[in-house]
Amino acid sequence: MNMPETILLSSKSNPRFRQLRAALAVSGAKRSHTVLLGEKLILEWFEAKTIAARSRLLPMYWLRLEGHKAHDIERGLQLETWELRENLMRDISDTASPPSLALVMELDDEPCSPIADLVIVPWGIQEPGNLGAIIRSAAAFDFQEAILGPGCADPFNPRALRGSMGAAFTMRLRRFDEKYFDDGRWIALDNEPDALLIESVNLCPPLRLMVGNEGHGWRDVELPKHCLRATIPTSRVESLNAAVAAGIACYEAAKSFKGQT
């Protein structure tokens, strides 16, 4: 099998490179492209057992650091390969030490299927790495979907994808719409004194577990009328990092679900 053409890009003024940088600079709901940085993340995408988010990511170009050999996945995908000088790969990855390979993806439309039984709902999570970690925690405990509330970071930001460590490829990801306020169990993690202890809350499906903003939580947020607030008790610290709290709550939900089966 003949490999597709390899194109060497050596200047940031190259039209191909400029077009790619412009596409990757778009974020949020308008994002149309992203990039998987490094062999580990590309392998996670390639080996994803479900089609949830993987099916939304359509491979377009293979990027290879100048001087590196072709990768087995590169040969299998049969994509046009761009060989980048180190400064260009560093610019794409926004890291001091650029990866030796990357995969440029085009994003397909959001899913329109019914809401899953176990859903994580990050709300106003602004740091992409935190969002990725929340998605990773949810996937670790068999949550099937993430619905992203207003003010959330872009889940397809390369830093969010790295933070999820491939978990984003196993879950449906979509942005919040008020139509999603269904009759499921809406539970908002909260550290206010009047919140219920999480171990006393029914966390069985259909569960919509909400995680609030890292700084101000649920201030100025209108939660569903039937939403309960649940707290994770702590000592010596006032509150937990949003991603840590999400991981604990997802674990408690997994215990509740297994206890009912």
* pLDDT digit string, tens, across residues 194-242: 899 999 999 999 999 999 987 777 888 888 888 999 999 888 877 788 9
- Both 128 and 103 in one domain: the answer is no
Contact 38, 73 (CB under 8 A): no
pLDDT bin (cut points 50, 70, 90) of residue 192 is confident
Instruction: Answer whether residue 31 is part of any domain.
Output: yes
132 and 221 share one domain: yes
Query: Is the Cβ–Cβ distance between 123 and 151 less than 8 Å?
Result: yes
Q: Supply the pLDDT for residue 152.
A: 92
pLDDT score, position 82: 95
Distance between CA 133 and CA 113 in Å, rounded? 24
- Whether the CB-CB separation of 31 and 154 falls below 8 Å is answered with yes
CATH code for position 29 = 3.30.1330.30
Q: Do residues 164 and 239 share a domain?
A: yes
Helix axes 86-93, 15-25, angle to 10 degrees: 20
Instruction: Judge if 103 and 132 occupy the same domain.
Output: no
Same domain, 99 and 80: yes
Do residue 185 and residue 232 come from a single domain?
yes
One domain for residues 30 and 67: yes
Instruction: Please say whether the beta carbons of 65 and 84 come within 8 A.
Output: yes
Domain hosting 55: range is 6-107
Indicate whether 157 and 70 sit together in one domain.
Answer: no
Predicted confidence (pLDDT) per residue in 144-175, tens digit: 999 999 989 999 999 999 999 888 888 899 99
Based on the structure, what is the number of domains in the chain?
2
Asked whether residue 176 is domain-assigned, the answer is yes
Distance separating alpha carbons of residues 33 and 253, to the nearest angstrom: 34
What pTM does this model have? 0.88
- In Å, what is the CA distance from 162 to each residue of 42, 133, 166? 10, 9, 7
How does 89-123 read in b/e, with b if 16+ C-beta sit within 10 Å?
A: bbbbbeeeebbbbbbbbeeeeeeeeebbbbbbbbb
In terms of Cβ atoms closer than 10 Å to its own Cβ (0-12, 13-18, 19+), residue 132 is buried
Same domain, 169 and 100: no
Does residue 126 share a domain with residue 81?
no
The pLDDT value given to residue 50:
61
Q: ω into residue 206 within 30 of 0, thus cis?
A: yes
Count of CA atoms in the C-beta half-sphere (13 A) of 211: 32
Is there a single domain that holds both residue 164 and residue 234?
yes
101-107 and 57-65 as β-strands: parallel, antiparallel, unpaired?
A: antiparallel
Q: How much is the mean pLDDT over the chain?
A: 89
Partnered with residue 34 across adjacent β-strands are 105
Confidence of residue 53 (pLDDT cuts 50, 70, 90): low
Which phi and psi (to 5°) does residue 88 adopt? -75, -40
Each residue of 85-127: pLDDT tens digit?
999 999 998 777 899 999 999 998 888 888 999 999 999 999 9
Confidence at residue 29, expressed as pLDDT on a 0 to 100 scale: 86
Residue 235 CB neighbours (<10 A): 4
pLDDT of amino acid 78? 87
pLDDT tier at 24, thresholds 50, 70, 90: very high
Q: Which domain CATH number covers 208?
A: 3.40.1280.10
